[in-house]
């Protein structure tokens, strides 16, 4: 990320920076890769500066994603670091954290260094890499977390799989305390979920889809909170999907435990009603593009998640961007891979909640910026003077259609394909460089 020598001024936008309690019309001056000045709107422009006109638009810190699947190494037909970071830039994300469930798994410093090396060569936004908790994500033996941390692992996760063995999880939390790094957990109790694919209930039953009950998530959340209370450390619940998880989180927080959580845009806005098909989205019943892990849940769960996000019990929106190639998502629901290509549609989905008056614009921005940054302790998600010049400018009223051509990700696997969404990123800036113009 080489900072541009040329200053850049973002003029006359509504600047929202929750980290500084800022929400007003202003010019933002970026110089030498840093935020240099935030001044009253339409002030003087330094000689030779590049100008971005942001009138009528929102200017905020670049978004931070704690949960991205970049598929490197191993699956270039699904995504590459070049295509995944390009998609991130189009979604307004300037810092993303890549999951370790690649081929090979990022469970050694050697693989981690190879990823970071590829990022230096081909990424257009900042990428942090998570290390695996267990060797090969098998949940049996702990990876060398200290060596991974020294090689640059930002946090640890076996995402895609649960750490099913409680004693491995206990050990991991112990290390998280020593290394001051978060353990991000994919909560899926294998004994309960047993190959489940769709939210347990009438809708799954009607289409003969194997049930994935909320109890399978809540039982592991409860276990890990109990371990956290014993061992200490930093626990982060990835992709919370159930009302029961929210209740457990609330109780743990009331006890003063260090547990954080994220929720995906799709779990905030879509329900298992999509299994019945959707005329507006031209989706037939049980379409594979609606298959995601954890599954889309009930209206009751969505309600609890939105409330928890609004009040700050859940501090981060994370995309769980999970790109797949066409073959992995064709055929039947049962045969298809889990996952939604989500990083480019996160903003319009959240703006939908804002238009429904479920969350305010500043709260939405906070959950996409300093909220997640604090969870992993990242120097990101803020426009404070001197901080990295990573900025997102978006037009909350601009419409665009989600198509194979408009998505930069190699993964076109989203139930929103064909839909017209409102809210579009117009400029993404990393280290003072314009990396996306929409």
Could you tell me the smallest distance in angstroms from the CB atom of residue 184 to Zn ion? 9
Three-state DSSP string of 127-145: EEECECCEHHHCCCCECCH
User: For residue 235, what are the β-bridge partners?
Assistant: 183, 259
Could you tell me the smallest distance in angstroms from the CB atom of residue 327 to Zn ion? 22
Q: Which of 328, 350, 331 is nearest to 340 (CA)?
A: 328
Could you tell me the smallest distance in angstroms from the CB atom of residue 8 to Zn ion? 37
Among residues 6 and 138, whose Cβ is nearest to Zn ion? 138
Number of shown-chain residues binding Zn ion (CB under 5 A): 2
Could you tell me the smallest distance in angstroms from the CB atom of residue 206 to Zn ion? 26
Among residues 186 and 269, whose Cβ is nearest to Zn ion? 186
Contact assessment for residue 155 and residue 149, using Cβ atoms and an 8 Å cutoff: no
CA distance 245 to 218: 5
Q: Which of residues 123-182 bind Zn ion (CB under 5 A)?
A: 159
CA-based torsion, 346, 352, 356, 360: positive or negative: positive
- Phi and psi, residue 423, nearest 5°: 115, 115
| Residue 186 within binding range of Zn ion, rule CB under 5 A | yes
Nearest residue by C-beta to Zn ion? 186
Q: Which stretch binds Zn ion (CB under 5 A): 41-49, 186-194, 310-318, 426-434?
A: 186-194
Buried b / exposed e over 134-156, threshold 16 CB at 10 Å, is bbebbbeebbebeebbebebbbb
Among residues 108 and 241, whose Cβ is nearest to Zn ion? 241
Among residues 124 and 197, whose Cβ is nearest to Zn ion? 197
Maximum C-alpha span of the chain: 66
Buried b / exposed e over 358-397, threshold 16 CB at 10 Å, is bbebbbbbbbbbbbbbbbbebebbbbeeebbbbbbbbbbe
Tokens of 23: 């929400």
Residue 307 has, within 13 A of its CA and on its CB side, a CA count of 13
Among residues 52 and 342, whose Cβ is nearest to Zn ion? 342
Tokens of 122: 């081909």
Among residues 186 and 223, whose Cβ is nearest to Zn ion? 186
Hey, what's the torsion of the CAs at 70, 75, 79, 80, to 10 degrees? 70
Residues in the chain: 438
Could you tell me the smallest distance in angstroms from the CB atom of residue 434 to Zn ion? 33
Quick check: is 335 catalytic? Answer: no
Catalytic one of 320, 328, 390, 395: 320
Among residues 198 and 421, whose Cβ is nearest to Zn ion? 198
Could you tell me the smallest distance in angstroms from the CB atom of residue 293 to Zn ion? 6
For the packed helices 346-355 and 361-368, what is the interaxial angle rounded to 10 degrees? 150
The count of other CB atoms within 10 Å of the CB of residue 339 is 23
Among residues 27 and 159, whose Cβ is nearest to Zn ion? 159
Q: Which of 66, 59, 20, 34 is nearest to 373 (CA)?
A: 66
User: For residue 11, what are the β-bridge partners?
Assistant: 53
Could you tell me the smallest distance in angstroms from the CB atom of residue 341 to Zn ion? 15
Catalytic residue positions, numbered: 320
Which residues of this chain interact with Zn ion, rule CB under 5 A?
A: 159, 186
């Amino acid at each position: 990320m080489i900072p541009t020598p040329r200053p850049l001024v973002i003029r006359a936008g509504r600047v929202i920076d929750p980290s500084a309690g800022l929400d007003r019309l202003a010019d933002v001056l970026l110089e030498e890769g840093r935020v240099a000045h935030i001044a009253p709107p339409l002030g003087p422009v330094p000689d030779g500066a590049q100008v971005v006109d942001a009138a009528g638009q929102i200017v905020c810190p670049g978004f931070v994603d704690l949960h991205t699947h970049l598929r490197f190494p191993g699956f270039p037909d699904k995504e590459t670091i070049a295509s995944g970071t390009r998609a991130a830039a189009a979604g307004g994300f300037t810092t993303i954290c890549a999951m370790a469930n690649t081929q090979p798994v990022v469970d050694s410093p050697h693989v981690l260094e190879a990823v970071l090396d590829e990022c230096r060569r081909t990424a257009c936004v900042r990428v942090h890499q998570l290390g695996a908790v267990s060797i090969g994500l098998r949940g049996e033996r702990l990876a060398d977390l200290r060596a991974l941390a020294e090689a640059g692992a930002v946090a640890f996760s076996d995402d895609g799989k649960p750490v099913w063995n409680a004693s491995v999880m206990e050990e991991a939390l112990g290390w998280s305390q020593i290394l001051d790094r978060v353990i991000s957990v994919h909560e899926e109790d294998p004994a309960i979920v047993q190959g489940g694919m769709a939210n347990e209930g009438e809708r799954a039953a009607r289409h003969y889809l194997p049930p994935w009950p909320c109890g399978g998530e809540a039982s592991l959340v409860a276990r890990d909170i109990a371990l956290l209370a014993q061992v200490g450390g930093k626990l982060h619940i990835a992709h919370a999907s159930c009302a029961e998880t929210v209740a457990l989180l609330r109780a743990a927080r009331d006890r003063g435990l260090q547990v954080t959580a994220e929720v995906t845009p799709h779990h905030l806005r879509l329900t298992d009603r999509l299994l019945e098909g959707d005329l507006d989205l031209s989706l037939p019943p049980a379409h594979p593009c609606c298959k995601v892990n954890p599954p889309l849940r009930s209206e009751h769960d969505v309600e609890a998640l939105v409330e928890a996000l609004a009040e700050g019990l859940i501090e981060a929106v994370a995309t769980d961007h999970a790109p797949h190639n066409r073959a992995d998502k064709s055929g039947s629901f049962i045969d298809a891979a889990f996952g939604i290509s989500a990083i480019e549609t996160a903003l319009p989905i959240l703006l939908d909640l804002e238009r429904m008056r479920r969350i305010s614009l500043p709260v939405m921005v906070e959950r996409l910026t300093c909220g997640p940054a604090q969870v992993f302790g990242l120097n990101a998600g803020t426009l404070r003077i001197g901080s990295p010049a990573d900025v997102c400018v978006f037009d909350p009223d601009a419409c665009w259609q989600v198509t194979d051509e408009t998505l930069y990700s190699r993964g076109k696997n989203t139930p929103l394909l064909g839909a017209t969404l409102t809210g579009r990123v117009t400029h993404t800036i990393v280290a003072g460089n314009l990396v996306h113009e929409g």
